[in-house]
Chain A
Amino acid sequence: MLRSYLKLAWRVLWRRKFFTLISLFGISFTLVVLMVATAVLDHVFAPLAPEVRQARTLGIFRARMIGDHRSQTSMPGYQLLDTYARNLPGVERMAIFSMAQTVYSYPSGQRIKSLLKRTDAEYWRILDFTFLEGGPFTDQDVANASFVAVINQTTRDRFFGGAPAVGRTLEADGQRFRVIGVVPDVPVLRLVANGDIYAPVTTAKSDAYTRQLMGGFGGLLLARSPADFPAIKAELATRIRAAQLPDKQWQRLFAPAETFFESIAGNLFGGRDDERSHPERLWAVIVTAMLLFSLLPAVNLVNLNMSRIMERASEIGVRKAFGASSRALVAQFIVENLVLTLVGGAAGLSLSALVLRALNTSSLIPHAHFTINVRIFLYGLGLAMFFGLLSGVYPAWRMSRLHPVQALKGASR
């Protein structure tokens, strides 16, 4: 039974190549857009090594100072984090890291551009890097402002041709560092963990950062469990509300503890005076976009399927005359539709993989490693089947209700 349906499905689709092609095109294109978007979102927000403890980690990624006529928005400064974000209730560990800066090195006449990130020692205990060589710097290194550095694989290739690097020195932005560890590359879109060179925060060229309330750093708070999040957020907000502001033109300061997703939502939707991050708005935007991108092709597919079935009105009449029940007819047309959408789905999945690989190799986003992991693949497969069922059920049902006499006459209204 299934075999005869499949055989027929193939022949029917082949006979009307133009419409089959357009349907396939529509399905695969839609899938490419949805899958690439999902892969990128997954890449940016889902837990990815070395951020293995992301589920119970909060960060302090943004701060805003508000005055009478002006407001200043930036990442928090070292002083803010050091003074107000330590020893929060429910926090196991706390780390401070800087945003990666572009620095230049000129070993033997060539130029190497690297991203330098400055961190404290706790950073390496919250994130779980798999060291290819050596290990991270310690509290002692930070206290002594030792000029040691952890580098990533790409940096090892660039400076030392891929040879073992621990113990060797490199120069960046005019400072000399001794390599004590090598880690795998972290994609540049993972703003918390990315970097080519990681150095102790105390190796900065001047100590002005210790007196800055605003600018250039981020905080990481490893909670005991996600249940501690509300308490942590509340306590930090209380402390910061009571904070001393640099001069009287500034009245308010806030720097929320939140997940990375929430911080992006906050940057996009947070009003000037609004402390909250409104992650639900960002979700709404993402879901609406996905829905729009799914519904439009689904409805178009419904129309195309209706036409394909309508054209075979007499076939429906004949099958009914010879004993096909409504259920049998619906099943037949759904199989046909699933064949179409699964082929389109397979095409879409392969194309997505190609697009992602192109994005990876292009220099647009360095160290990008967009992949279609199992989660995304299943999502894509589910999507294709969802399309297949959604766009097949209604036309099939409409057709199964067709009166056999009318169907045989070819009047398909």
Chain B
Amino acid sequence: MQTMIQLEGVDKVYRTDRIETVALSSINLDVKAGEFVSVMGPSGCGKSTLLNVIGLLDEPTKGRVQLNGTAVSSYRDAALAKMRNRELGFIFQTFHLIPDLSVADNVEIPLLYRRMAGAERRKLALAALERVGLTSRIHHFPSQLSGGQQQRVAIARAVVGSPRILLADEPTGNLDSQMGDEIMHLLHGLQKDSGTTIVMVTHDPRLADQTQRIVRLFDGRQVQ
């Protein structure tokens, strides 16, 4: 199986007003295509930072990042944006849906940045919403949905462009256990049906145990 995500010697240091914070130190990570990996560790250990680096939202201070065989370290803004659009999908703890857009419009967002006609965009969005089981609410606004429903919309948004990698940052953190289970069910389904590689940050060992591999971080370093 090919390597989907590869991090080699990755460091991330934040420098603000003469204060240096080491968020990540010497991270080496290989994630194979179709794997479901959890990242765990105490608060402040750098798990979100790791996810941001993989997701090309943050540039490592040192080291190499490769996605789907492509080295992205030298990429500039436009190229990174394109990469994110094609290969990555994000799911956030606080959903981050755009309140002024309807459910369908929210899901369409990744497709806006591809060359596509409006009708086709709508078709794909509806298909994605069907996968998460929310076809009855396409014209609603995020404020009219429950937490679980909002997260499902976020998932639909993340998969609508058929990315190969999904990055989820505490996806069930704001949900009760029942809704949380539904979301996890959805994620596992995506991995099985589409072979999507998923990296999930969580502090819930119960959820982590359901995944194939657990990466543990402590003070920015990998530990076993």
Contacts and interface: CB of A to CB of B under 8 A. Distances in A.
B101 A408 contact: no
Contact of A323 (B58, B82, B99): B82
Given A325-B78, A405-B57, A314 B110 contact: no
Interface size class, chain A: 20 to 34
A8 B100 contact: yes
Interface in A1-40: 1, 3-4, 7-8, 11-12, 15
A318 B100 contact: no
Contacts of B89: 322
B164 interface: no
Contacts of B84: 320-323
Most chain B CB within a 10 A radius of its CB, from A1, A7, A8, A318: A318
Most chain B CB within a 10 A radius of its CB, from A12, A312, A322, A405: A322
Most chain A CB within a 10 A radius of its CB, from B86, B101, B113, B114: B113
B118 A3 contact: yes
B103 to A, nearest CB: 14
B3 to A, nearest CB: 23
Nearest to A14: B100
B77 interface: yes
Nearest to B158: A322
Contacts of B71: none
A405 B86 CA distance: 19
Given A4-B112, A12-B100, A323 B77 contact: no
Interface size class, chain B: 20 to 34
B105 A321 contact: no
A322 B157 CA distance: 9
Nearest to A315: B98
A63 B40 CA distance: 92
Interface string A298-332: 00000000000000101101111111111110000
A398 to B, nearest CB: 15
Interface in B111-131: 112-114, 118
B202 to A, nearest CB: 18
Contacts of B90: 318, 321-322
Contacts of A11: 100-101
A404 interface: yes
A325 B57 contact: no
Given A3-B118, A405-B57, A325 B98 contact: no
B109 interface: yes
A359 to B, nearest CB: 41
B100 A15 contact: yes
B207 interface: no
B92 interface: yes
B159 to A, nearest CB: 11
Contacts of B105: 4, 7-8
A143 B110 CA distance: 87
A285 B96 CA distance: 52
A322 B78 contact: no
A326 B90 CA distance: 19
Contact of A408 (B81, B85, B92, B108): B92
A1 B117 CA distance: 9
Contacts of A15: 99-100
Nearest to B59: A403
Contact of A325 (B81, B92, B161): B81
B57 A323 contact: no
Nearest to A4: B112
A1 B77 CA distance: 21
A321 to B, nearest CB: 5
B58 A405 contact: yes
Contacts of B77: 325-326
Contacts of B109: 318-319, 322
Nearest to B154: A318
A320 B108 contact: no
B41 interface: no
Interface string A331-359: 00000000000000000000000000000
B78 A327 contact: yes
B43 to A, nearest CB: 15
A220 to B, nearest CB: 63
12 contacts: A15-B99, A317-B96, A318-B90, A319-B109, A320-B84, A322-B113, A322-B157, A323-B82, A326-B78, A326-B81, A404-B57, A404-B58
